[in-house]
Structure formats: structure tokens, C-alpha cells
Amino acid sequence: MIRERADLEPDVIAFSTVIDGLCKEGAVSKAFDLFEQMHSLGVLPSTVTYSTLINGLCKQGAVRKALELLDCMASKGLEPDIVTYNTLLDGLCKKGLLENPGKLLQYILYKGHRPDVVTYTAVIDALCKNEEIEKAEELLNDMISRGVQPNVVTYNTLMDGLCKMNKLENAMNWLDEMVLKGMSPDIVTYTIVMDALCKNGKPDKVEELLDDMISRGVQPNVVTYTTLLVGFCKMKELESVKKCLREMVSRAIPPSIVTWNIIIDAFCSIDDAMNILVSMVLNHGAQGNSACISLIKAYVKRGNIDEAMSVLKRMKQAGLKPDIDAYSPIKEMLLEIGIADDAKDLMAQMSEKKADD
């Protein structure tokens, strides 16, 4: 890979550069082989070399091997920088191996490093996952007192931990603090809190927060709406479900099969699902078609052929024009269960529709 020549010997910078390139390409095993080759050639790895390889190992989930490399680094008298510690913290947290996050932070401080927002966020994340939520809140206050300003990811991490521990009031307080500090909550922030509000049976608060989010220029996405629909369906808030679906369609975010499965599970009957659908699609043209097709696919996936056929019928009654995407799932299911005659009739309807168009 890097070969000696009589007139030019590779130095630590050359090795480190190639190791960095290999790690970025995901070829960490080759990078490690090259690291071993350095020793055989008498080239001593630098802090940059070790840090680069530790970063590559962590990204591939080989955190224990990265820790071994850190020990090796220390034995050579080399001190990791804050970026290396951040990489290890992130890797340990993702693997669930950080049993005492606070102790590691104290060690970083003892070594004379100044933890940054990435360091604190990683430790807060680890504390939350360890269900040490009070310590996580204390640490956020501590970082602020040390002059390190939390970012949106820091707040989101803490609020997610609080919501999972059913400490909704605390999460709402941190959301208020974000806004007071002039920081703009993002789509993740709102989705975390709205999900918790749904789980706590507070539909009015959910809608208030949704309105606040939109007024601040943060546009809900399919994840946000699906989260809300799960919550509203569990609370049997039919009107909120209708409103949510209407907003989805008006924003050109047609409900998916997953969305309809949630609604069918909650309201069970074809009449409920179709009443929601019809009230939603009458004035939405093509987006209404997309919503209906998703509902048809949802029923077909469940093996409910009668319900799927009913949706097709109601589409026509509502003045919508089913296309091949609406007919095909039903046709394929009819053929699969051996009702070829009905499949032929459906194909004939498709052909008539094409002729009419």
C-alpha cells in the first residue's frame, strides 16, 4: 500500500493521510493493517494517527477495539484530544457501554481538556439512556454555568430522555427555556414533545403545540403526522384524526399504508375509515386519489378484499377517478386467492375507464 523506496521513505504524515482516507471509505481493517505496518517500518504513529483510527473503529461499532487503541496510545505517552474523546463517548453511548458517563467527563476535565457541546450532549445522552435523568438535567445546567451553550440537539436529547421517563412537565419547561433563549425548536423537538403529550392523553395541548410549530415556520412532516395519528387514534379522537388527515393532504403529504393501518386498527370498521376518507378527499383531487390508493393497499395487505373493493366503489361515488394503481392491488389479490372471474371483471372495468378517459 505504502512502499519504501531507497530515496523516499514514508513518514507519519503520509501514513496518517492514507489511514484517514481508508477510514473515510469504511476500509478500517485495511487502515489497521497499515497502522501495524508503520511499526514494522519504525514509523511512530502520532496523536492524529491514533485519533483517526479510533474514529474509524467507533463508526464501525468496534468500540472495544477503539478503547484498546486508546490504552495503547496512553502507554506511548500520547494524549487524546477532545475530538477523540467525543468520538469515543458517542461510540460507547450508541453501544450502551457507558456505565458511568459522569466519571468519564470528570476524567476529561482532569486531563485539562475543555469539554464542548458535543462532549456534554454525548454524556447527557448516556445519562438519559441509563435513566439517570436528574443527573442529565444537572449536567445541562452545569455546562451552561461553564460557558458552554447547549444546541438544539442537546435540548432534544434531554427532552427525549425526560419524555421516555414520563417527566413531561420537565420537558415542557426545557422547551420554554429554549424559546426564551432565542433558540428555535426544530421538527424533532416538537415531535418528541407531541408524542409525549399524546401518550399522556392531552389532545388539546398537542393541537396547541402543532399550531405553535407551524406559526414558527417549522413544517410538520410525515413522521410528525404519523406520530400524531398514533396518539389521536389511541385516544379515539376521531375529529382530530380527520383534521390531521386533511392537513396532510392539503400539504401534499398523502397518508401511507402505515398511516391507514394505524387508523384501521383504531376504528376497525370500513365505515369509519371511509367516512374519514370521504370527508377529507372531496376537495383535494389527485391527492385524494393517492390517499384512497394507500387505503386500498392497506386493506389488500391485510387480506380484506371486500373492504378494498368498497374503497374503490366509494372513490367513484365521491367523483374520484381510480387509475391502474387503484385497481392493480385488488386484481393481484383476486388472482392470488383464485377468484379469476372477478379479476377479469375488474380488468374490464379498468379497460372501460381507459376508454372513457
331: left (phi over 0), alpha (psi -120 to 50) or beta: alpha
Residue type at 301 in one-letter notation? K
Contacts of 331 (CB under 8 A, 6+ apart): 343, 346, 347, 350
Contacts of 119 (CB under 8 A, 6+ apart): 82, 85, 86, 89, 105, 108
DSSP character string of 3-52: --BTTB---HHHHHHHHHHHHHTT-HHHHHHHHHHHHHTTPPP-HHHHHH
**Residue pair 133/161 in contact by the 8 Å Cβ criterion:** yes
DSSP, res 78: -
pTM: 0.69
- Least confident window among 111-125, 165-179, 183-197, 232-246: 232-246
To the nearest whole percent, how much of the chain has pLDDT over 70?
83
Report the pLDDT value the prediction gives residue 133, as an integer from 0 to 100: 94
| Average per-residue pLDDT for the chain | 81
CATH no. for 1-80? 1.25.40.10
Per-residue pLDDT tens digits for 116-174: 999 999 889 989 988 999 999 999 999 999 999 999 999 999 999 999 999 999 999 99
In angstroms, how far is CA 124 from the centroid of its own chain? 18
Per-residue pLDDT tens digits for 259-305: 766 776 666 554 565 566 555 554 555 456 776 777 788 788 878 88
In angstroms, how far is CA 293 from the centroid of its own chain? 26
Report the pLDDT value the prediction gives residue 75, as an integer from 0 to 100: 86
